[in-house]
């Protein structure tokens, strides 16, 4: 038994074995807790109404296990007699690691909560929101929490973080000045997400660009115009420009002027107006009561009929307009109603 009382680096072999046993027990306990969280608690939370607890339980197993290992490490160190410098070093390391383990736990909980509430928002709004917006929120929370965790850990461990914060402040100011446009674009992306001036698939107009929104990122938005080209717009332009969301209108107005031949009789004009009203009435894609059809004016070479109708929301605008125009051509030809074309009279002397 005297072997257990032999000195080894200022501690007996029994003290080293006791410290090792405590550390080993902490590791085994951590693995047991990890297994319990991964299997037992996950099965239990599946029977609850909320899905948030399932997401959180799935994320906290590793940080909790690390915390148990750190506690075991602390208890194991207390069994040993160490020199003052080594004891101070290990004390600082334990405090710093504990702060980082707590930060890791909080970060995983916050990330899980962000994912859950983003999913709830998507389901409630029935909208397709770019995943990069969620990633932006997660990354921002990670940066903030880890920065605070590192500062708190270093401060409690006895390090002077004042000079570090001052240096980071000067560096951050220089970085902000160098990346003004990038910061403005990121803020513009956040404004798009918060204010929701448009959604994916909406037909919008901003300045001279008009088309369908196909992508909204952190720094830019992409719009496919009528020619099929992809136009990339920096998000900063959305904060100080007028945005026209064409898709949000209850119906799309179409204004056409049908120019009849100048020698058309009054009966032909009445027949043309009736044909246009019948087309609007029979079309399931047009709001009949909002349409305006009337003989508007005498032109230099034609008699103009104002044909204004509204295509219902959600319909294919180009397809409906083509259908209406083709039907006008067919019925006008059947009724022998002729459309005018530019004419010029030449008088010879």
DSSP string, 212-260: EEEEE-SSEEEEEETTS-EEEEEGGGGSSS-EEEGGGSSEEEEEEEEEE
* Tokens describing residue 283: 């079309």
Residue ranges and CATH numbers for the domains of the chain are 2-158 (no CATH), 191-247 (2.30.30.60), 250-334 (3.30.70.100)
pLDDT confidence of residue 133: 63
- How far is residue 61's CA from residue 135's CA, in Å, rounded to a whole number? 22
CA proximity to 252, closest of 209, 205, 292, 312: 312
- How far is residue 254's CA from residue 319's CA, in Å, rounded to a whole number? 13
- How far is residue 51's CA from residue 37's CA, in Å, rounded to a whole number? 16
Model confidence at 329, pLDDT cuts 50, 70, 90, reads very high
| Stretch (H or E) spanning 221 | strand 220-225
pLDDT confidence of residue 347: 45
pLDDT confidence of residue 17: 82
Non-local (6+) Cβ contacts of 114 within 8 A are 134, 137, 138, 141
DSSP for 79-97 reads: TS---HHHHHHHHHHHHHH
3 state SS of 315 = coil
The per-residue pLDDT for range 239-260, each reduced to its tens digit, is: 777 888 877 777 778 888 888 9
pLDDT at 55 over 80: no
The per-residue pLDDT for range 36-54, each reduced to its tens digit, is: 766 666 666 565 666 666 6
Instruction: Tally Cβ neighbours within 10 Å of residue 272.
Output: 24
Question: E strands along 34-76, which residues?
Answer: none
pLDDT confidence of residue 219: 76
Non-local (6+) Cβ contacts of 272 within 8 A are 258, 260, 264, 305, 332, 335, 337
Q: Which residue has the higher pLDDT, 70 or 166?
A: 70
pLDDT confidence of residue 277: 92
Model confidence at 3, pLDDT cuts 50, 70, 90, reads low
pLDDT confidence of residue 192: 74
Non-local (6+) Cβ contacts of 302 within 8 A are 259, 260, 261, 262, 340
The full length of the chain comes to 349
| Stretch (H or E) spanning 213 | strand 209-216
Model confidence at 171, pLDDT cuts 50, 70, 90, reads low
Q: Which residue has the higher pLDDT, 235 or 58?
A: 235
The per-residue pLDDT for range 194-227, each reduced to its tens digit, is: 777 777 778 888 888 888 888 877 778 888 887 7
Non-local (6+) Cβ contacts of 181 within 8 A are 234, 236
pLDDT confidence of residue 271: 92
Mean pLDDT over each residue of the chain, to the nearest integer: 77
CB 323 within 8 A of CB 283: yes
Check: pTM over 0.85? Answer yes or no. Answer: no
Q: Which residue has the higher pLDDT, 116 or 310?
A: 310
pLDDT confidence of residue 48: 60
63-68: average pLDDT: 83
261-289: average pLDDT: 89
**Rounded to the nearest 10 degrees, how much is the dihedral formed by the CA atoms of 193, 199, 204, 209?**
60
For tokens 């899980």, the residue is 112
pLDDT confidence of residue 344: 47
């Amino acid at each position: 038994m005297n072997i257990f009382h032999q000195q080894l680096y200022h501690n007996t072999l029994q003290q080293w074995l006791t410290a090792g046993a405590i550390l080993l027990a902490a590791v085994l306990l951590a693995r047991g807790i990890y297994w319990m969280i991964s299997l037992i608690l996950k099965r239990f939370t599946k029977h609850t109404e909320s899905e948030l607890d399932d997401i959180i339980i799935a994320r906290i197993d590793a940080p909790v296990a690390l915390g148990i290992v750190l506690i075991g490490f602390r208890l194991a160190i207390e069994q040993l007699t160490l020199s003052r410098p080594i004891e101070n070093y290990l004390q600082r390391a334990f405090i710093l690691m504990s702060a980082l383990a707590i930060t890791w736990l909080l970060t995983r909980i916050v990330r899980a909560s962000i994912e859950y509430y983003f999913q709830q928002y998507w389901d409630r709004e029935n909208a397709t929101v770019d995943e990069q917006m969620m990633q932006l929120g997660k990354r921002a929370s990670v940066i903030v929490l880890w920065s605070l965790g590192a500062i708190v850990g270093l401060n409690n461990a006895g390090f002077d973080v004042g000079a570090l914060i001052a240096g980071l402040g000067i560096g951050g100011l220089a970085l902000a000045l160098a990346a003004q446009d990038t910061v403005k674009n990121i803020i513009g992306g956040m404004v798009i997400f918060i204010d929701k001036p448009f959604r994916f698939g909406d037909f919008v107009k901003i300045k001279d660009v008009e088309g369908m929104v196909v992508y909204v990122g952190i720094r830019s938005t992409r719009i496919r115009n009528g020619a099929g080209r992809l136009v990339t717009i920096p998000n900063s332009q959305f904060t100080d420009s007028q945005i026209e969301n064409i898709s949000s209108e209850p119906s799309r107005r179409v204004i056409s002027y049908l120019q009849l031949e100048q020698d058309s009789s009054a009966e032909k004009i009445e027949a043309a107006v009736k044909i246009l009203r019948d087309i609007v009435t029979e079309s399931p894609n047009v709001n009949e009561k909002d349409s305006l059809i009337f003989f508007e004016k005498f032109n230099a070479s034609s008699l103009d009929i104002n044909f204004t109708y509204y295509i219902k929301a959600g319909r294919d605008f180009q397809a409906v307009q083509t259908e209406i125009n083709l039907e006008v051509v067919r019925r006008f030809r059947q009724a022998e109603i002729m459309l005018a074309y530019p004419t010029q009279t030449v008088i010879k002397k």
